[in-house]
Chains A and B, each alone.
Chain A
Amino acid sequence: MSKLHVTTTINGEPTEFLCDARETMLDVLRDRLGLTGTKEGCGSGDCGACSITVDGRLVCACLMFGAEAEGSQIGTIEGLAEGEKLHPLQKRFIELAALQCGICTPGFLVAAKALLDRNKNPTETEVRYWLAGNLCRCTGYDKIIRAVMDVAAELRGATR
């Protein structure tokens, strides 16, 4: 099968890759580009472990073809920190123990950032529903929700 040539931007870096027509973006990230921070929990759009952003939109990478990345801006967990400075969400997740095993964490962080990018002042209910596409089996979500609410407040304070 001949491969498709795709030109895209990943975490701000212009990137090119070859992929099969039926290959998912998740497989491209993990197997071709070595970006294994994006996780696979189900491959069917049900767990959110593979959350990435495509032109700012939150997407399950397992439900997207690699070829669809052509010309778009892709954001993954590897692009969340700025240099050696963790994003406030990353920092707070550690401080508040919002992860136990940590397999769901990249997905939650990408999804939470996408929420805060469009809603600076979410209610607890809004956070819970926004993150309802991300499964966590370890934490019972309590500390995750608290961390996201905390960071939202912190960012509001910082930009006021």
Chain B
Amino acid sequence: MSSQHYKWIGTRPNRPDGADKVTGRARFGADFNMPGQLVGKVLRSPHAHARIKSIDTSKAEALHGVKAVVTAKDFPEQPNQIVPAGEMQANLRDVTRNVMAREKALYDGHAVAAVAATTSEIASEALALIKVDYEVLPHVIDVDDAMKDGAPILHDHLRTDGLTPPSDKPTNIAKRLEFVKGDIAAGLAKADVVIEREYKTAAVHQGYIEPHATLASATEDGQVQVWSTTQGHFQVRGFCSRLLNIETSQIRVTATEIGGGFGGKTVVYLEPVAIRLSQKSGKPVKMVMERSEVFRASGPTSGGTLRVKIGATRDGRIVAADTTIALQSGAFPGSPVGPACMCSFACYDIDNIKVIGFDVVSNRPKVAAYRAPGAPIAAWAVESTIDLVAEALRMDPIDLRLKNAARKGTKTHYGPTFNTIGMVETLEAAKNSPHYKTPVKPGHARGVAAGFWFNVGADSSAAAHVGEDGTVTVISGNPDIGGSRASLALMAAETLGVDYDKVRPVIADTSSIGFNFVTGGSRVTFATGLAVVNAVRDMIENLKGRAAKIWEVEPDAVIWENGYAKPASSNVGKFEPLSLAQLAAQAGKTGGPINGHAQLNAQGAGPGFGVHIVDLSVDRDTGIVTVERYTAAQDVGTAIHPSYVEGQLQGGVAQGVGWALNEEYIYDAKGRLQNAGFLDYRMPVASDLPMIETVLVEVPNPSHPYGVRGVGEVPIVPPMAAIGNAIARATEVRMLDLPMSPPRLSAALDAMAPKRAAE
């Protein structure tokens, strides 16, 4: 497709960190150690909601081998205000309380104290010696319950933001949002068909295989080093700086290789605690979460309750779309309800839209980002309802979507007007895919759904250095979570006109490169890619200047082509082209080392659209769903390294299948998490899935020199609805709540059975 005229972009070379990662050499979070390090462990609340009356740590401190104990007292109080922390918006009052509970424990698993000891066994023993006097309070888990009058209140100071007139009542509703376009009542009046349903989704975890891990070393002169498995080492630095009142320049954070994150490793849990323990003990402290801690205390994404009402005319034009979305934020405000509201109808060009959102706290772990945060939850409800509209109108579900598809010039309900986007192209690609053209097999049923994600730009820094032999190092500051080193090296090689293997990409620590926003939002290949391209261009300017010096001509008389400096025209004079290696060899004489730098706040991240098709079968006795065939089509801008783009689509689909069919946080009556392990929180395994076909639609992003759009988030948006829509066609049962797990689906099928028998 569009990559035809590129030499490197669009090819599939081996990734630069491949050998390290297949030999066990790559060092992930838990693989870092320092001489004399201590083991840090966290004591966690067994209660969903409890006042902490006192904590007695004296016995633990007296235990031989214990070198430090910390509680909330060891962390300074923070103001109740939203501030930038490592370029993220966060309420530091809440962040410090999530890191270490202060007045109250707000969820099962909430950290209340931590110890550092010479061995893991002693650390565990010390935890058992800490005496916390709790006053257990009534708790609330469910969003709907938390919104009711008389619900247990988590934060006495919390008032609903966004209410007119403002209310002074303590509440669990942190925020109300509203987006309106056109006139919803007028739109509904025009509709021939109106469908309205209520949906629910369960909280699900990102499920990265590598647990959170960190190693911190604080020295007597106030300097701190941290190694952490994180999607944003600059965020770790920013948060730790704020939470512990340490200047950022005193903290140096190295991102280890990262074993998955999906948004869940963009916040801090262990790092501030490990630093504090290290400060108090004078020794390096290593902390690694157990899997159960990952589930109980690190961010899942929200579950929610949604109502959707869609009206359409007989010819399939959607004339009104209305939704209310209430999302769990966990124990502190800050669910992804904003993006859920914005993404809800973004795939479509609809005149009349009304979206209302609520951000609701309850006694659950504070949610963290999870791949396209909020969008999959909204899409579950919206895309299911659109399928019902298609059924009511007896229209092909892709044709209905094509008729209403957003395109260039569509004004969204949340403000922006789309530039060049690929929704129509993606729908057409799905329609023309081998999968959709194949008739559905007997016993199988087919479902379709679409999805949207904005994609993110934001801050990135990069540098490029020429070595003495003319090979190049490209330095950036985003942890590589799924092959981004390869895509950055490809873009650098393309820009410079040299071979891919002459470019080595390196990820620098927070003290060795300028600020970089997190690896997240599908921004690295776009924004950091842009920084890399600009750094290389900067270096090329430098290289041209060197050639000009050697030739004794003006710098603008030199051009750069295919890795060589050449005279711009024959008027300049007759000079043999100079290679990178030749220029590098003479660098000392022409001005010293040859480097390039770039820093930017990338604008114009191109939105992405996906359309998924699933064929599945349902075992009516057990309610077990088998995914028989799956195709994901997506507008990917330009596929820089197509294998990793396909991999993003395939991985997103697998997570979506888990979200649809099995995954959920299950609480008992006391508000304790019942399935904090991989056995009971069941994620898809290889035998649960078929091959996942991908269709890469390339509609280049006009705001990027190589047309890059983020690709990682979109593919988790459509699967739940695609699967629900197929189940509805297979069984005539329309599931409204996620997950559509075997017990739930078989109960729904049983409830249908008498009706079927009567027919």
Within 8 Å CB of B691, what residues of A?
142, 145-146
- Inter-chain contact B647/A135, CB cutoff 8 Å: no
- Inter-chain contact B686/A145, CB cutoff 8 Å: yes
- With known contacts A44-B677, A101-B481, A135–B685 Cβ distance under 8 A: yes
Beta-carbon contacts of B254-266 to A below 8 Å, as 1s and 0s? 0001111110000
Cα A87 to Cα B257 with chains together (Å): 22
Cα A154 to Cα B377 with chains together (Å): 43
Give the number of residues in B that approach A within 8 Å (Cβ atoms).
57
Main secondary structure of the interface of A (DSSP, over half): loop
Does A122 belong to the interface (CB within 8 Å)?
Answer: no
Does B521 belong to the interface (CB within 8 Å)?
Answer: no
B-contacting residues of A (Cβ < 8 Å)?
30, 35-44, 46-47, 49, 76-78, 80-81, 86, 90-91, 93-97, 99-106, 109, 125, 127-129, 131-146
Beta-carbon contacts of B201-224 to A below 8 Å, as 1s and 0s? 000001111110000000000000
Within 8 Å CB of B209, what residues of A?
39, 41, 47, 49, 101, 103-104, 135-137
- Inter-chain contact A93/B30, CB cutoff 8 Å: no
Given contacts A100-B482, A131-B687, 4 further A-B contacts (CB under 8 A): A137-B209, A137-B654, A143-B643, A146-B691
Does B516 belong to the interface (CB within 8 Å)?
Answer: no
- Inter-chain contact A106/B24, CB cutoff 8 Å: yes
- CB closest residue in chain A, given B20: A102
- Inter-chain contact A103/B650, CB cutoff 8 Å: no
Cα A49 to Cα B688 with chains together (Å): 18
- Inter-chain contact B651/A100, CB cutoff 8 Å: yes
Chain A to chain B contacts (Cβ below 8 Å), 25 pairs: A30-B30, A30-B31, A37-B25, A39-B259, A78-B23, A94-B15, A96-B643, A97-B641, A100-B481, A100-B644, A101-B257, A103-B210, A127-B686, A132-B686, A132-B688, A133-B685, A134-B685, A135-B678, A136-B209, A136-B686, A137-B207, A139-B650, A140-B654, A142-B691, A146-B691
Cα A101 to Cα B257 with chains together (Å): 8
Beta-carbon contacts of B378-414 to A below 8 Å, as 1s and 0s? 0000000000000000000000000000000000000
A-contacting residues of B (Cβ < 8 Å)?
12, 14-15, 17-19, 21-28, 30-31, 206-211, 257-262, 288, 290-291, 481-483, 641, 643-644, 646-648, 650-655, 677-679, 683, 685-689, 691-692
- Inter-chain contact B19/A94, CB cutoff 8 Å: yes
Within 8 Å CB of B12, what residues of A?
97
Within 8 Å CB of A145, what residues of B?
686, 691
- With known contacts A78-B24, A106-B24, A143-B643, A137–B14 Cβ distance under 8 A: no
Cα A100 to Cα B24 with chains together (Å): 14
- With known contacts A78-B24, A100-B483, A42–B677 Cβ distance under 8 A: yes
Within 8 Å CB of B210, what residues of A?
39, 41, 101, 103
Main secondary structure of the interface of B (DSSP, over half): loop
Q: In the complex, which of the residues B21, B23, B647 contacts A81, with contact meaning CB atoms closer than 8 Å?
A: B23
Determine how close the nearest CB of chain A comes to the CB of B296; give it in whole angstroms. 14
Determine how close the nearest CB of chain A comes to the CB of B555; give it in whole angstroms. 41
- Inter-chain contact A40/B483, CB cutoff 8 Å: no
Q: In the complex, which of the residues A49, A95, A127, A129 contacts B14, with contact meaning CB atoms closer than 8 Å?
A: A95
Determine how close the nearest CB of chain A comes to the CB of B656; give it in whole angstroms. 10
Which one of B21, B207, B208, B209 has the greatest number of beta carbons of chain A within 10 Å?
B209
- CB closest residue in chain A, given B258: A101
Q: In the complex, which of the residues B211, B482, B641, B653 contacts A101, with contact meaning CB atoms closer than 8 Å?
A: B482
Within 8 Å CB of A41, what residues of B?
209-211, 259, 291, 678
- CB closest residue in chain A, given B685: A132
- Inter-chain contact A94/B647, CB cutoff 8 Å: no
- Inter-chain contact A36/B19, CB cutoff 8 Å: no
- Inter-chain contact A94/B18, CB cutoff 8 Å: yes
Which one of A80, A105, A127, A131 has the greatest number of beta carbons of chain B within 10 Å?
A105
- Inter-chain contact A132/B687, CB cutoff 8 Å: yes
Within 8 Å CB of A77, what residues of B?
23-24
Cα A112 to Cα B364 with chains together (Å): 38
Which one of B641, B650, B688 has the greatest number of beta carbons of chain A within 10 Å?
B650
- CB closest residue in chain A, given B644: A97
Determine how close the nearest CB of chain B comes to the CB of A140; give it in whole angstroms. 3
Within 8 Å CB of B481, what residues of A?
100-101
Within 8 Å CB of A125, what residues of B?
687
Within 8 Å CB of A100, what residues of B?
260, 481-483, 644, 647-648, 651
- Inter-chain contact A140/B689, CB cutoff 8 Å: yes
Within 8 Å CB of B692, what residues of A?
140, 142
- CB closest residue in chain B, given A46: B678
- Inter-chain contact B678/A143, CB cutoff 8 Å: no
Within 8 Å CB of A134, what residues of B?
685-686
Determine how close the nearest CB of chain A comes to the CB of B205; give it in whole angstroms. 10
Within 8 Å CB of A138, what residues of B?
260, 482, 647, 651
Cα A134 to Cα B206 with chains together (Å): 17
Determine how close the nearest CB of chain B comes to the CB of A124; give it in whole angstroms. 8
Cα A145 to Cα B647 with chains together (Å): 13
- Inter-chain contact A143/B685, CB cutoff 8 Å: no
The 8 closest A-B pairs by CB, nearest first: A37-B24, A103-B259, A140-B650, A140-B654, A102-B21, A97-B643, A94-B18, A46-B678
Determine how close the nearest CB of chain A comes to the CB of B157; give it in whole angstroms. 37
